[in-house]
Structure 1
């Protein structure tokens, strides 16, 4: 499998897409392999436009920021006393806001589409496995996923 490496800035919520902004304090970056994501795999092969990739990444980011994924044993995040960034919200408020955005995006996708979104975008399940576990015919998931991501892109106002 081909590697697509990119630099991402680390924020308190995790890696952030886009350019690294200069600031007074030094920023930490991480190198990520974009080809590891099922959405990035589809995008790299021309099956998914950039708009839909961005919509999926926004949904996944809100899913992770809302702390919906299961935690393994213990959180090693540093305890913050003073809020920094995101309009002065406290960490718990950021988590609640991300959960509200995630729920709104899933509602915008519509009934029957949340399963494919969660499996491929949030859980990182490959499209053939998601189709099989949902009992769908082979190669039908790509079309359904594209429809769901179009609605999510409209919700996030991605052009």
Structure 2
């Protein structure tokens, strides 16, 4: 058995950026991201890989079982008076379920099942094609479309792009202080 190929991907969840470790040997998306087509481009772009892994992170967090025993995190943090703001396990699980639900709803019923199979249940494209009775190499094309829609939902793009023109803003010193004489 070969060594796992671990890569680090930076994702953003609810405004918080974090780096996650991804076993590219385990993930069908990682496998597709390393493979090149006839045109020399990978089958899965970096943005598509990030979107798929972000879906997988939420799926994993949403599937965590609730804590049945003592809350040992509170002991590790110290006293209850100095609680660090954040989510407990149940709240984090619920938030992940909501993010997962919104993402799958945004991709639509045409793509959500495929994304779950590939990104979350780690099924390969050949297995998907067999199970669904699709012609060979069809799953790669449909998966690419699904990942594009998922990336758009997450606000990810190959190029950062803003509005062509924004409204100018100017303040006078008197407006900031509330003094109408200035």
Alignment counterpart, residue 119 of structure 1, candidates 117, 120, 145 = 117
- Asked if 1:56 is matched to 2:52, the reply is yes
- Matched pairs, number: 136
Task: Give 5+ residue unaligned stretches, structure 2.
Answer: 10-16, 36-41, 158-182
1:157 matched residue in structure 2: 155
Matches within 5 A, 1:5-154: 5-6=6-7, 18=19, 33-45=23-35, 46-67=42-63, 79-81=72-74, 88-154=86-152
Shift of 1:114: 1.4
Distance 1:52 1:77 in 2: 39
- Call closer, same or farther: CA 1:121–1:32 in 2, change over 3 Å: closer
TM-score normalised to structure 2 length: 0.63
Shift of 1:76: 9.4
1:2-23 CA distance string (max 9 Å, x none): 9533368xxxxxxx9638xxxx
- Call closer, same or farther: CA 1:142–1:76 in 2, change over 3 Å: farther
Distance 2:150 2:69 in 1: 32
Could you say what the CA RMSD is over the residues aligned between the two structures, in angstroms?
3.2
Distance 1:134 1:118 in 2: 14
- Call closer, same or farther: CA 1:154–1:66 in 2, change over 3 Å: same
TM-score normalised to structure 1 length: 0.72
Distance 1:102 1:115 in 2: 12
Distance 1:146 1:77 in 2: 44
Distance 1:157 1:77 in 2: 38
Shift of 1:103: 0.6
Distance 1:34 1:17 in 2: 18
- Which structure has the bigger radius of gyration? 2
- Call closer, same or farther: CA 1:146–1:32 in 2, change over 3 Å: closer
